[in-house]
Amino acid sequence: MTTAPTPDSPEIVLTASYAMDDGRYANNGWLQELPDPITKLTWDNAALISPAYAKRLGVEAGDLLQITIDEKSSAGTPVKRQLVIATLVSPGHADNSVTIPLGYGRKMPQFYELPYAGADLKERPGIEEQSGFNGYFLRTAANPHFAVAGGQGIESVQVTKVGRTYPLSIMQEHFSIEGRGLVREATLEGYRANNEFAKKIPGEEELPYPPPSLYTHPPLDAPQQWGMSIDLNVCTGCSACVIACQAENNVPVVGKLQVAHGRIMHWLRIDRYYASRKPFNQDRGEWPENPEIVHQPMPCQHCENAPCETVCPVNATIHSEDGLNVMAY
């Protein structure tokens, strides 16, 4: 009989990866470098656990955990399944539960290409020598999605701290700026009472003047002015726009190490913020127990303020009178 998960015998949940699915897209560099909508992790998967469970285990993001499942085969033979995987704390995650996205963990991916008709297959290196951890080591036909003590053939589930760390490339705070406010939101009633609430949040007032610049913006005097708005009430952080932009503009993939150095080159990003009625200070290790999540898209601004426009020596890129950056080809 299946027992309820406990700190000493947690539940293991195996899910399809948001980007890799079951691993079929592991050779796609765009998807490997796509930040997860919730964790903002790139190039890896991790064992997602709640802040409370992480505190009990004494682990932080990047600490390695060993997951051990003792079970019996259909023939009654004892079987031990183990996986060592990095930890990632996820506020709002269920306690006494570990979620592992599948689709990662290949040690030496390979491509095969046919250079010309009639030639032999030529082998060349894959995009990364190692990417993540193979959750399939814990998966069986009898328990394909969940592993918990008392499940079919499962006698015990244990999670222990290994004592080593693993580098994770998380990009949520790569572009944070000191003194600039975070996402600002209010209820509909609050907006109706004060539609300028975003400018007057105590301690997060907008900067009084725009930053100084040597560049004079062209006059926008056409009767029609282009603009774009994003409905933050419906944005789920799916990041389809990030991949579409990368494809349209030939944005390069930089790899896990360069992402860790803050050099990811996406032209737009989707920032994720946790919201809670109870104040918390992440810098002091405080996390909300059951937070809401707010997604804030940050477009590139190239249509309005393309960096090439101010420096082009031949005036190949200019500003139109209706507010768009245009190119002369």
What's the alpha-carbon Rg for the chain, to the nearest Å? Answer: 24
**Amino acid 259: pLDDT:** 87
Backbone angles phi, psi at 259, to 5 degrees: -60, -40
**Amino acid 269: pLDDT:** 87
Continuous segment of H or E residues that includes residue 257? helix 256-260
Domains of the chain: 11-109+127-170 (2.40.40.20), 188-327 (no CATH)
**Amino acid 271: pLDDT:** 86
**Amino acid 257: pLDDT:** 87
pTM score, whole prediction: 0.77
CB 82 within 8 A of CB 159: no
Strand extents, DSSP E, the chain: 11-15, 41-42, 47-49, 63-72, 78-89, 97-101, 110-113, 122-125, 146-147, 154-165, 169-170, 269-275, 292-298, 317-319, 325-327
**Amino acid 109: pLDDT:** 53
Q: Which residues pair with 317 in a beta bridge?
A: 327
Inter-CA distances, 95 with 27, 53, 91, 205, 265, Å: 33, 6, 10, 37, 35
**Amino acid 243: pLDDT:** 92
Continuous segment of H or E residues that includes residue 259? helix 256-260
* pLDDT averaged over 10-residue windows placed end to end, the chain, 329 residues: 76 90 86 90 91 88 89 80 90 89 75 48 49 86 82 82 89 62 77 78 57 69 75 88 89 88 87 79 73 85 77 83 77
Continuous segment of H or E residues that includes residue 189? helix 188-193
